[in-house]
Structure 1
Amino acid sequence: MQVVSISSLKGGVGKTSVTLGLASAALDAGLRTLVVDLDPHADASTGLGINPAGREPIGLMLKNVRRSSINANAVPSSWTERHQKIVRSVQASQSDSKDDAAASDSEEADAGESKTAELAEGRLDVAYGSAFTGIYDRPDLRLRDLKRLKTVLSRVTGYDLVLIDCPPSLNGLTRMAWYASDKVLLVAETSLFSVAGTERTMRALNMFRREFAPSIQTAGVVANKYRPESGEHQFRLQEMSTMFGDALLSPVLPDIPDWQQIQGAAHAVHQWPTESARLSAVLLSELLEAVRNK
């Protein structure tokens, strides 16, 4: 199980949107994925279309760390049900053409069935967020509190990937997420203040690594909301390339015109029917692969 934190010091750069995009890509790839919503605003939980149905939010699980179980309290995202409907549709289509495909090219038919089986395995659950989580978002968090999320995640079973959506600060919740993570992905806009903030976050992560978590890796920096027609964005992207070198990930994520509508409908970008969403879905799948293999 790989644990990845998605972080930014600056609000408004699309950190939660990137988290949701990666979750969409993971579901599309057939991965069993858990999103941990540590941001007290709980926007990721809203975007994932959940119905908590009496289950504990992640804040209460952190408070009652000795007895809490994420597996018992994780809430299925509505995205999974839609994904399964797509899988069933593909299965039905393949069933109709199975005999013809087998006759013309049995190897291709086997590959198609394998892909469908892979898709069917995917699921997306949420350790949902709430304002209660904010009790840990303070600068003076003690080491025993820093370990709370790692302790809870150590008992989690059945997932391939955990994505942690952090609040836009370097207070306790972000450091708690870093302590529990294998990798940290930093999100930046191609703008002056965001680039400068990302450079500060990179320094803070290096200091945190030396003091608390020597094994934590930097998954890299993703440039988000990029508009190629903007001269300022072109300049800042080049600046990021100079500052971060190989840590700047490819692909760069463009500004997606459908994002507000997609998130408002609590849909996965891979399930949205527009051409711009399909192009963005391809890029997000490439980004997920880059993050997992970094």
Structure 2
Amino acid sequence: MTIAVVNQKGGTGKTTSTINLGKSLEEKGKRVMLVDMDPQGSLGYSLGIVDKDKTIAELLYGEADLSEVIVSREGMDVIPSSVTLADVELSLVDAENREFRLKEILEQLTGYDYIFIDCPPSLSMLTVNALTASQYVLIPMLMEVLSLQGLDLISETLAKVKKSLNPELSVLGILPVMVDRRRKLSSEVFDHIQSNYDFKLFDTQIRPNVRASEAPSFGQSVITYSPGSNSANDYLELSEEFLKLV
């Protein structure tokens, strides 16, 4: 099962959620692959993967095999990214079957329970490739008013991809992140989404936590770095809810 973690806004916890939901599932005995489709390469960096010669960019160019690219971290396998991926996106504009390049690569993978794709903070050709390759979409989202405008754009993009490229695509849910439960605004945005959108909102809410911010500096998930922290507990709870849904 392949899940694209999507939000065109930056700073919404896509990479953090990809890593820590993946690690939480790995701790439950699931075999997990993480794919970084963001040219910034934050996912790989957050797991201590730096200066990798072969990345997702070389895979998309056809200049590397999966065996040359995959790196193991914390019991998970990772396909890292690099800044070269931005050049790949430009080259895809006129390429044949440009929307299906990632799908063709991931179809070579076997034995994984879950493949999570960390998408760039834009609704770009890289994101379209991720959506075309996935069965489900997970949307990490700040419970703020400006996020609602972005949600409309995501909805439009998902509808277009579903209609023309991937009819099996569906939204698993919206994940509220960095939620301060003392703020009335968070509850108001939460209620607005429930009333005006068909998307499921996860019951699990990810609280802001300094440990989650520190973990990438040590090249670790927060599950490994600070297993007793609020963030670790939130993502472990999320994994339980995730498994019930899928």
Q: Structure 1 length normalisation: TM-score?
A: 0.76
What is the aligned counterpart of 1:206 among 151, 159, 175?
159
Alignment of structure 1 residues 51-90 onto 2, 5 Å: 54=53, 56-64=54-62, 68-77=64-73, 79=74
Kindly provide the CA deviation profile for residues 52-77 of structure 1, in whole angstroms up to 9, marking residues without a partner as x: 665x100111011xx74324420111
Structure 1 runs not aligned, ≥5 long: 80-122
Change (3 A) 1:280 1:141: farther
- Evaluate the alpha carbon distance shift between residue 278 and residue 183 of structure 1 in structure 2; reply closer, same or farther with a 3 A threshold: closer
Distance 1:60 1:148 in 2: 12
Residue from 137, 146, 160 that aligns with 2:89: 137
Q: 2:218 maps to what in 1?
A: 265
Residue type at the aligned position of 2:55 = P
> Which aligned pairs between 1:82-231 and structure 2 lie closer than 5 A?
123-137=75-89, 140=93, 142=95, 144-231=97-184
Change (3 A) 1:254 1:141: farther
The letter for the 2-side match of 1:212 is L
Superposition deviation, residue 233 in structure 1: 1.4
Residues in 2 aligned to 1:277 and 1:43: alpha-carbon distance in whole angstroms: 18
Native 8 Å contact 1:69 1:152 kept in 2 = no
Amino acid at match of 1:204: T
Cα shift readout 1:240-291 (whole Å, capped 9, x = no counterpart) = 2222345222212222232111222222222224442442243232343255
Counterpart CA distance in 2 for 1:192 and 1:265 is 33
Counterparts in 2 of 1:143 and 1:281: CA distance versus 1, 3 Å: same
Kindly report which structure 2 residues correspond to 1:242-253, keeping only aligned pairs within 5 A, or say none. Answer: 242-245=195-198, 247-253=200-206
Q: Counterpart in 2 of 1:36?
A: 35
- The residue type equivalent to 1:134 in the other structure is A
Q: 1:46 deviation in Å?
A: 0.8
Would the aligned equivalents of 2:207 and 2:230 in 1 still touch at CA under 8 Å? no
Could you say which structure has the higher helix fraction? 1
CA distance in 2, matches of 1:211, 1:131: 29
Paired residues in the alignment total 244
Following superposition, the deviation at residue 44 of structure 1 comes to: 0.5
Alignment CA distance shift 1:265-1:225 (3 Å): same
User: Deviation string for 1:180-207 (max 9, x for gaps)?
Assistant: 1111111210011112202220221012
Gaps of at least 5 residues in structure 2 are: none
- 2:207–2:231 Cα contact (<8 Å) kept: no
Which residue type is aligned with residue 205 of structure 1? Answer: L
Of 35-44 and 259-268, more deviation after overlay is shown by: 259-268
Matched, 1:279 2:233: yes
Determine the C-alpha separation between the residues in 2 that align with 1:284 and 1:269. Answer: 14
